[in-house]
Amino acid sequence: MAQLARRLARSLWPFGRRDRRLVEGAIDSRIMGRRMAFATLSPPPPHALRPDLPIVLVLHGLGDDHLALDDFGLAARLHDAMARGALPPFCAIAPDGERGFWIDWHDGSRRYEDCLLEEVLPAAERALGLDAARERRHVVGVSMGGIGALHVGLRHPELFASAASLSGAILDEEQARRFSRDSSAKWFAPLDRIFGDGTDQEFLEAHNPFAVVRRRGAALGQRLFIAAGEHEKPFFADTTRAFHSYLERAGVKHAFEMYPGGHGWRFWAPVMERAIGFVLT
C-alpha cells in the first residue's frame, strides 16, 4: 500500500514536478521471472561520467522503492555535495527490492540477492558505462536496506570494498529466530517464507552479520559504517549498538555513529552523505 500511495503521489502536484535527478531503468529478470526496476544517479556537471568512477549501491527500506532518493530529496542533496566538493564524484545505483529483505527467500520462491548481484547490478553498471571493479564498488542501505547492505556486502567481499548500514535491525541468530516467528511483523512481510520458521540454523547463520564476521575474522579487508538514531526503537538502535560492541570485541575496524533523531529519511539524509564520504575516502 505504501508503494502504491507513493506512486500515486508522484503523479500529482507538486510531486510530479519535483526536481528529479534519477534515471529509471528495468530488466527482464530471468531469476525473478518478471521486470525488475532500478534507478541510476550520475555525477552533476562539471564532473564527467567516466568508466572508473566509484559505484554506490543504495538499498531502500521496507515500503520504499528504487525512486526513494528522489522522493525524499537525497539525489539532489548528493548532487549538491558532489558539485561543491564535499563528496567525490560517484555513480549511485538504486534497485527496487520490494519487501524482500534483499535475500534469497528460504522457501525458494524469491531470489532477490541473486537477481541483484547477477542481473540488476551488472545491467545498471553497463547502462552507466562503468568499468566495475571491487575496489570501486560500495553498498549502503537504510532500515531493511541497512541490514541488506551488511548482508550483501559482508557475504560478497569479492564484489564490495565497503558496506554501510543506517538504522538496520542487525539481529543476532537468536533475535533473528524470534523475528521470523513474530506474528505482528508478518503484517508487513511474509517472514516465514523469507526466513523460514527459525529452525534452519544453517540458513540463519548464512544470513547473519554476527556469524559472517565470526567466520571471516577481524581482518575483513572492507570498510564498515554503522549508524542508528538516538531516538529509534530498540529494534534498530540497540541492535546496532550491540553489533558495534561485537565488532569492537572482535577487533574489526569500523565507523560507528548514534545520530540525533529517529527512523526516517529526514534523519538519514545527512548521515547517508557522511557514510558515502567515509566509504569513498
pLDDT digits (tens, 9 = 90+) for 185-243: 767 788 899 999 889 999 999 999 999 999 988 778 999 999 999 999 999 999 999 99
Q: Which grid coordinates are listed for 260?
A: 540525533
CB atoms within 10 A of CB 254: 19
Q: Residue 177's pLDDT is what? A: 87
pLDDT digits (tens, 9 = 90+) for 155-173: 999 999 999 999 999 998 8
Q: Residue 7's pLDDT is what? A: 55
Q: Residue 19's pLDDT is what? A: 82
Is 226:165 a contact under the CB 8 Å cutoff? yes
Global confidence as pTM: 0.93
Residues of the chain under the 50 pLDDT cut:
1-3, 5, 9, 11-17
Q: Residue 218's pLDDT is what? A: 74
**What phi and psi values does residue 15 have, to the nearest 5 degrees?**
-65, -35
2-280 — its CATH code? 3.40.50.1820
Q: Residue 167's pLDDT is what? A: 98
Residue 139: exposure state from Cβ atoms within 10 A (0-12, 13-18, ≥19): buried
